Amino acid sequence: MGADVNVVAASESGCHIFGHGCGFEAPGVGLFSPTPWLDFGLPGAAGVNKYYLVAAVALIIAAAFWYFTTRRAKVVPGRGQSMAEMLVGFLRDQVTRTTMGKEGDRFLPLIVTLFLFIFCMNIMGLIPGLQLPVTTSLAFPAVLALFVFLLWNIVGIRRHGFGGHIKARLVPGGVPAWILPIVVPIEALSNFVIRPATHMIRLFATMFAGHLLLALFAAAGFYMFNPLSQMGALYGALSVGYSAIALVGFLVFTAFELFIMAVQAYVFVLLTSIYLGEAIEGAH
Amino acid sequence: MPTVYLAAEQENVLRIHWDEFTFGLIAFLLILGVVYKMWPKLTKALDERADQIEGGIARAQKAEAEAEETRQQYREKLEEAHREYAQELEKAKEQRAAIIAEAREEAQVEARRIVEAAHAQIEADRQQTLVQLRSEIGALSTELASRIVGETLSDGAAQNRVIDRFLDELEQSGNTQQAEVR
């Protein structure tokens, strides 16, 4: 069972249940600040750390999946092509068509890219040896959310003009004029600040929390495994039982995490699609 | 103390490192590039498949129409054959009736002819017999009479008169006998 490298490092102190009396150190947010391998000391930079490695692996997996499944696209599809087609068909029918209609087909490659990339970044948390979801570093969701935010503005402005786009976003239809001084600032804050922020933080936070939970189970399992307890064989056996419970919890939550990883990728692209559909639609 | 050490290590998790951001952007654009580059291949394959399916449906509809047409033709031919058969049957019946009638007529004519021929034959035989009888009876009677009367009646003319009278009487009595028999 591949315990997270950082978790193992955190528990290297040798603390175990029924041991010398040192307490359990739960894995903290330090997990998400891996020590950089190359630190150039630039201000505001993390340095070349583990996130670079997992992001590069995610990039390769996502790009290779798409490249090899569609490289020889034929009328009669093979397995790979069928998978790619299923992915595209799912995203088209469940995401773009439902939110943007036929017009959304234009954005389908973007939606496919986002889904693939986010899902691959997420599953990095389950790959033994790597076990760090790329999306637990806010910079990566931020790139995607910012890209979507910019695209959302560009699509709206190209469709309705700058004024039309801004007005559609700030002045909700059917609101009496006297209430506008209150509504407009709220809408501005909501649409131009809170929305892109929540778009990235939602993905980041769920992956962050999920990974922390897995790390906790792994660390707890390690902490509680003390068959050679100084307090006697009975306590040693008890510690193994506790450890087994933690292991079962780890496995269950790993499966659950896999589900969450797919769902979060889906939610991200669904929201992207909804925002773009709104920009296309204009005032409502 | 470990707790102090951990607290020092903890930094704001909501930080965004610009270098990670840049790396993420590059990775994202690379994947986007790959997806966009490969996109036409997939859509082309999908379009071709749609075309082929549509073509297949069109072909199937055409074949169905042709089959329907053939079936119609076949049905018409069958009906025509039935009609012709019925006509032939009717004609054959008529012919049969005609043949039978003709044969019957011929047979009747033939029968009548045979009957008539038989009648004629019988009449001829009778006449012949009568003539023969008459001459024989004449001769017999003459002989008889000559025997009875002698040589006196050797004159031919008188002889004939006597015989004729005798025969007439004979015939009359024969007729009445015949009538009685009938």
pLDDT, tens only, A187-211: 999 999 999 999 999 999 999 999 9
Residue A36 domain flag:
yes
Tell me the residue range of the domain where A223 lies: 5-49+134-281
B24 contacts A138? CB cut-off 8 A = no
Instruction: Assign A26 a pLDDT band (cuts: 50, 70, 90).
Output: confident
Angle between helices A139-170 and A233-281 (to 10 degrees): 30
Minimal-distance CA residue of chain A relative to B47: A75
Mutation target to probe the B interface, by most B beta carbons within 10 A, among A60, A75, A124, A207 is A75
- The answer to whether residue A56 is domain-embedded is no
The helix (H) or strand (E) run that includes residue A3 is none
Residues listed for chain B? 182
Within 8 A of B4 by CB-CB distance, chain A residues are none
Averaged pLDDT, B37-52: 90
Q: What is the pLDDT of residue A21?
A: 66
B11, B20, B31 ranked by CB distance to A113: nearest: B31
Nearest CA in chain B to A61: B31
A122 in a structural domain: no
- Greatest mean pLDDT among A11-25, A71-85, B82-96: B82-96
Using the beta-carbon criterion (under 8 Å), do A63 and B48 form an inter-chain contact?
no
Q: Which residue does chain A place closest to B16, by CA atoms?
A: A139
| Per-residue pLDDT tens over the stretch A224-257 | 888 877 777 888 888 888 889 989 999 999 999 9
Q: Which residue has the higher pLDDT, B91 or A78?
A: B91
CB contact under 8 A, A62 and B19: no
More confident position, A8 or B1: A8
Whether A66 maps to a domain, the answer reads no
Residues A132-189 have pLDDT tens digits of: 999 999 999 999 999 999 999 999 999 999 999 999 889 888 888 898 999 999 999 9
**CA–CA distance, A207 with A195 (Å, rounded to integer):** 19
Mean pLDDT, chain A, whole residue set: 87
The verdict on residue A60 lying in a domain is no
Per-residue pLDDT tens digits for B100-147:
999 999 999 999 999 999 999 999 999 998 888 888 888 887 777 776
Q: How many helices (H) and strands (E) does chain B have?
A: 3, 0
pLDDT for A272 beyond 80: yes
Residues from chain B contacting residue A54 (CB–CB below 8 Å): none
User: Is position A246 within any domain?
Assistant: yes
Cβ neighbours of A113 in B, within 8 Å:
28, 31-32, 35
Which residues of B fall within a CB distance of 8 Å from A48?
Answer: 19
Residue among B13, B20, B30 whose CB faces A208 most closely: B13
Whether residue A147 is contained in a domain is answered as: yes
Whether residues B2 and A13 touch (CB distance < 8 A) is answered with yes
- Taking CA–CA distances from A145, the nearest residue in chain B reads B25
Q: Which residue of B has its CA nearest to A32?
A: B13
Q: From CA B114, how far away is CA B101, in angstroms rounded?
A: 20
Task: Please report which confidence band the pLDDT of residue B154 belongs to, taking 50, 70 and 90 as the band edges.
Answer: low
Structure tokens at B52: 């082929």
Token pair for A41: 């000391």
Contacts of B23 in chain A (CB under 8 A): 51-52, 55
The chain B residues in contact with chain A (CB within 8 A) are 2, 6, 9-11, 13-21, 23-25, 27-28, 30-32, 34-36, 38-39, 41-42, 44-46, 48-49, 52
> Cα separation of A122 and A209, whole Å?
12
Q: What is the pLDDT of residue B178?
A: 66
Identify from A117, A198, A268 which residue to disrupt to test chain B contact, counting B C-beta atoms within 10 A and taking the largest count.
A117
Q: Tell me the nearest-neighbour CA distance from A249 into chain B, angstroms.
A: 25
Asked if residues A46 and A36 have their Cβ atoms less than 8 Å apart, the reply is: yes
Does B15 sit within 8 Å of A138, measured CB to CB?
yes
Could you say which DSSP state residue A35 is in?
Answer: P
State the best of B19, B22, B51 to mutate against chain A, taking most chain A CBs within 10 Å: B19
Question: How far away is chain B from the Cα of A24, in angstroms, using its nearest Cα?
Answer: 11
A to B CB pairs, distance under 8 Å: 118
pLDDT: which is higher, A132 or B165: A132
Nearest to A73 by CA among B178, B84, B37: B37
Q: Are A88 and B43 in contact (CB under 8 A)?
A: no
Q: What is the 3-state secondary structure (H, E, C) of A85-101?
A: HHHHHHHHHHHHHHHHH
Give me A100's structure tokens: 């943007």
In A18-38, which positions are buried (b, 16+ CB within 10 angstroms) versus exposed (e)? bbeeeeeeebbebbbbbebee
| Tally of structural domains, chain A | 1
Query: B9 contacts in A (CB within 8 Å)?
Result: 28, 30, 33
Return the pLDDT at A124. 93
Using an 8 Å Cβ cutoff, are A77 and A85 in contact? yes
Nearest to A75 among B27, B28, B48 (CB): B48
Mutate to test the interface with A, among B4, B17, B41, B54 (most CBs of A within 10 A): B17
